[in-house]
Structure formats: structure tokens, C-alpha cells
Chain A
Amino acid sequence: MKFLSSTIRSIERVEQALGIFLVLAIVAMVGVQVVSRYFFNQPMAWVEELSTYCFIWTVFVGASIALKQDRHIAITALELCLSDAQKRWLKVLIWISVLAFLLIMIPHGYKVMQVEARSNSVSLPVDIPRMWFYSLPLTLACISMLITSIAGVYQSLVNAFNGMTPVLINSKPDNLI
């Protein structure tokens, strides 16, 4: 368990560094594109495409971090009517559902990667298979989330059996309209 949680922490650090870099890269790229279009009359079509791909990576990397920090939005009404013990078992159920979703996604993600490896991006100056922008980031994020959810299932089961302190599920109001 100790090994698992330290692995998760290291993955999170890498993901966070990558994600922050991507966000800043998007701003820089779109900013440069505005300048080159309006001041030098030279639109750069590939910048639009590349920055969109960065955005796709950002979202999946961010989703993976959000699962580690338990920040994905859920409607937390049911737990108001549950006892502490029931809450702990509900948490087990939630983690198992997330795990099930990821277990279905990953093999299918692998299949899609093989298909997308054969088609290329549209306007980038170099030929890069589409897989690099769609199925690869999604599948990688799913694998990272799978590791997180294995730890989640394990930890929530331990809590449920030992009757440890009730965990508030998604206690932060993280709505982001």
C-alpha cells in the first residue's frame, strides 16, 4: 500500500508539471497566433490545431489529477440520509464503479489507438498519427486513474471493515460553470 500511494504521488507530480506546462503553452500559442495574424498578416493554421491537441491532453491529465484529489463533481445528497457505516460502504461502491468504467475503457482504448495510428493529422507541418491526440492521452489517463482507483477500492474497503473515520465524499463544491 505504501508503495502504491508513493507511486500515485509521483505520477501526480509528473501530471501536474505536464498540465501546467500545457495550459501556459496554450495561452502562449494562441497569443502568438493573434499577433502574427493581426500584426504581420500571417495566419498560422497549424497553431490552431496544435493548441487544440494541447487542450485535449490538458483535460485528460487534469481529469486524472482530479480523481487523485477526489475533486470530480458528484451530487452528494444520498450521504445525508446514511449512517457512518453506510457511508463507508457507499464509498466502496463508488470506487468499484469507477474501476469498472476504467477496466472497460482501457482495452477498447487500445483498439482505437491501433486504428488511429494509421490516420494522420490534418494541417501540422509534420505527419503525426491522430492516435497521439485522441486515444493515447485518454488511454494513458485511464491507466493512471485505474491505479488511483485500485488504491481507492483498497483504502475504502479497509475503512469500511475497520470502521474508520467517515469520509466525506467530494465535500468541496467544485462546480465550474
Chain B
Amino acid sequence: MTMLLLFGLFAVLVVLQIPIAFAMGLSSLAVIGFTQPVPLTIVVQRIGSGLDSFVLLAIPLFVLSGHLLNRGGIADRIFEFAAAMVGHIRGGLAHVNVVASMIFAGMSGVAQADAAGLGVVEVNAMKKEGFDAAFAAAVSASSAIIGPIIPPSVIMVVYAVMVQASVADLFLAGFLPGILMGLTLMVMIYWLVSTGRTPAPKPVPFSARRLGTTFVRALPALMAPVLLTAGLLMGVATPTELGAVTAIYAAILGVAYKELDYKGLIEAARETLMTCGIMAFIIACAVPFGWVVATSQAPMKLAAFMMEFSDSKWVILAVINIGLLLIGCFMETTAILLIATPTLFPLIVALGVDPVHFGIILVVNLLIGTLTPPFGVILFIMMDIAKISLGQMVRAVIPFYIPLFLTLMVVTYWEGFVLLIPRLFGKV
């Protein structure tokens, strides 16, 4: 009952276009005030202390790294290197786009920053070569969501804090699904181009010399994901510390490339401040909301109900996936994560699904949600960059749902694949 009231009120407020953070705060205030025997001060206490976690500090650090890398001319160098590596494959720059996004994913943890930074480089390069603008935008949009799947990943940090899983394990578990997503996207591009469904200019022949020179030029930038990956695999530093190292390295890189000055640094810090104020504020306001959900016992009842309905792990995971994908069409990603995790977690524990495995399923699912209309943020960003309409954008992105859903299926049903690297190097 409490739960219905809470969700109902929240839904009404969100439909009325009240900002999500305030809608969460208001609905928890109302529900606690009318139905719970606790004083309202608990809401203030929970919001105020909800962010007290050294793990969450990884958020501003990786967001700042992302902003610094996206302005430091680093995107251009990585794109050139990727072009020398895979530009000769049929489909040319479209493959380059995916590979560059995968490399970039190894240092940036926010899909939005990748879409707005590297995305501009990718779309412009493809349009200049003669690719269709909508196709270029669709490839860049689908490859941008690899960013938060390959570590670092801000969304994984939020999930890890909520279920008290290890951020390092989640990061390690993200590598293979991210690479799989990139490869399946490339297969789809190859098929679209070779069957003539998408016009593509002739690719440039492969040149070892070009690969060598672009590699040397990109080497300092390539060191960032290498450092981060090595740090994670060896487990020498916490993700938060690696975030600080990446941010400082990105700043030094920008200065060395003479593309970052004092003004740029301040601007990057200002954008990071805004991201914290918008996203982490939702996280803070979700703490009392999650508290109401947990005390209402509803997640336990949901777990019992679902287990009665079917005791097969696979059926329930399929139901969860479909439900989340539907919600993802209409709701903002962080908000779904913050509400779905406490609601579904007892069910997940009862089913015996590994929390790290479920985290990856959730992350991949929610990121696909950023590409589904009508509320798909990455679609909006890309439409803006490529100067096309929502209709054109959606039509162009439809074929790419196939590799994305395929990745989601593999991630959901092949636990050994997701947990391979964390089992080898982590603590799972």
C-alpha cells in the first residue's frame, strides 16, 4: 500500500514535469508524513548523509576526466589511430567510429560526454567522407553507449554503492560485454554496407606506415586506458584513486598537447560541478525514497510473488529485462537505476543471481534505454550534432537494436562470460 502510494505520487509528479530529484523528495516527504510513524527530519538526515561515501567520489573524478579528455584534442588523435587500424575494412569510417568509441570508453565513464565530445568528431568525419548523416549519427549513438560499459563507468559506481558490491569487480565485468557490443555493432555495419543497404565510400587501403605514425601520435592518450586497466587488473588502487590519477593525467595531457589552458580547466570543472549538482543530487534525493521502499516490505512481497509465478531464473530475468526496457523508453536512466535496484534486489538475491552479474545486466539494459524513443537522451544529442530530425534518427538506429539486444541476451544468460575477468582477477 505504502509502496503504491509512493510510486503513484512519484509518477504523477514526474508526468507533471517536476524535476525528478524534487519529485522523489516530495513523494517521500508525503508518504512518510502521512503513513509512517517517523518524523520528517529523517528525509533531511538521509539526503544530507546519503552521499557520504568515498566510493561515490569516483563520480566527479571520472566526469572531470571525461570533460578534460573530450576537450584536449585527444579525441582527434584516437580517431586517427582507429582509422589507420580498421579504416580499410568495408564500411570504413563506420568501423573506425566504433573502435574509437571503444578505446575512448576505457577512459571516460559518461555516455553523454562521449556522445557530445567524440561524437562530434565522428559524425563530422563520416559526413565529410560522404556517409549519410543519419547513418553516421546512428553509428555514433550506438557506439557512445559502450562508454559506461567498458570501465570506468559512473553508473556502475552508483549501482555498486547501492548494493554494496565491489566497484572494481563491476568494472572488470564490464570489459567483455563492452567489447562484444562493439564487435556485434561492427558486424551489423559490415552487413548493412556489403548488402548495399547503406551507401558507403570506398575504404582507404591499409598502410602499416600510417598505423605506425598515428600510433606514436596517439600513444600518450592511449596510455590513459592502459594505466587504468592495469590498475584495475592488479587491484593496486581503488577506483576512486584511479579516477583522480586519470583526471590529473588527462589535464597534463591536455597541457602537453597545448589544447588545455587555465580557462579550459575551469570550464571542465564547472561542467563537472553541474553534473554533480544534477545527477548526484538525484542520488541524494533517492536515498529517503529507497528507505521508504525498503521499509514497506514490498520488494520482499514482489520477490515472493514472482517466485510463485515462476521459479526459473531465466524467465524472471527475461521479465525484468522487458519491463526495464519499456520503462527505459519513458524514464531517465539514473532514476530507473535508483528505483529499480532497491525494488528488485531482494528478488535477485532470492534467485541466486550474482550481484555483479545483475549489475551488468542492469547497466546494459538501461543504456539501451538511452537509445529508445520517445525519451532517449543520446538520440537527442546526436540529432543535434548531425542536424537531422527524430524520425530520421530513429529509422537509422533501428538496425543497431539487433546487435544491442543480442549483447543484452548474452550478458543476461551467460553468467560465465560476464564474470570471467572478475573471477580471474577480482574477488568474486
User: Interface of A with B (CB < 8 Å)?
Assistant: 16, 19-20, 22-24, 26-27, 30-31, 33-34, 37-38, 48-49, 51-53, 55-56, 58-67, 69, 71-79, 90, 93-94, 97-98, 100-101, 104-105, 108-109, 111-112, 115, 133-135, 137-139, 169-170, 173-177
User: Interface of B with A (CB < 8 Å)?
Assistant: 13-22, 25-26, 29, 39-41, 43-45, 47-49, 51-54, 56-57, 60-61, 63-64, 110-112, 148, 154-155, 236-237, 240-241, 243-245, 247-248, 265-266, 269-270, 272-282, 284, 330-335, 366-367, 370, 374-375, 377, 380-381
Q: Chain B residue with minimal CB distance to A22? A: B273
Cα A72 to Cα B277 with chains together (Å): 8
Cα A169 to Cα B15 with chains together (Å): 13
Contact B334 A176 (CB under 8 A): yes
Contact B281 A75 (CB under 8 A): no
Quick one: given A170-B17, A175-B112, are A20 and B270 in contact (CB under 8 Å)? yes
Contact A138 B16 (CB under 8 A): no
Cross-interface CB contact of A73 among B19, B54, B370, cutoff 8 Å: B19
Contact A177 B44 (CB under 8 A): no
Quick one: given A23-B60, A62-B273, A177-B367, are A90 and B17 in contact (CB under 8 Å)? yes
Q: Chain A residue with minimal CB distance to B15? A: A78
* Residue numbers in A under 8 Å from B110 (CB-CB): 176-177
Cross-interface CB contact of A27 among B61, B111, B335, cutoff 8 Å: B61
* Residue numbers in B under 8 Å from A34 (CB-CB): 237, 241, 244-245
**Total contacts A-B at CB 8 Å:** 229
Q: How far is the CB of B49 from chain A (nearest CB, A)?
A: 5
Cross-interface CB contact of B15 among A58, A62, A75, cutoff 8 Å: A75
Q: How far is the CB of A86 from chain B (nearest CB, A)?
A: 12
Contact B17 A76 (CB under 8 A): yes
Quick one: given A55-B51, A58-B273, A59-B284, are A177 and B148 in contact (CB under 8 Å)? yes
* Residue numbers in B under 8 Å from A52 (CB-CB): 51-54, 56-57
Apart from A65-B273, A74-B19, list 19 A-B contacts with CB within 8 A: A19-B277, A27-B61, A31-B248, A53-B52, A55-B276, A55-B280, A59-B277, A62-B280, A72-B20, A72-B278, A73-B332, A77-B330, A101-B22, A138-B48, A173-B377, A175-B332, A175-B377, A176-B278, A177-B112
Contact A98 B276 (CB under 8 A): no
Cα A74 to Cα B45 with chains together (Å): 25
Cα A129 to Cα B154 with chains together (Å): 30
Cα A90 to Cα B13 with chains together (Å): 12
Contact B22 A97 (CB under 8 A): yes
Quick one: given A34-B237, A174-B278, are A16 and B60 in contact (CB under 8 Å)? no
Contact A75 B54 (CB under 8 A): no
Cα A48 to Cα B241 with chains together (Å): 10
Contact B280 A59 (CB under 8 A): yes
Contact B57 A51 (CB under 8 A): yes
Contact B377 A19 (CB under 8 A): no
* Residue numbers in B under 8 Å from A22 (CB-CB): 273
Cα A101 to Cα B27 with chains together (Å): 9
Cα A97 to Cα B16 with chains together (Å): 10
Contact B381 A27 (CB under 8 A): no
Contact B43 A108 (CB under 8 A): yes
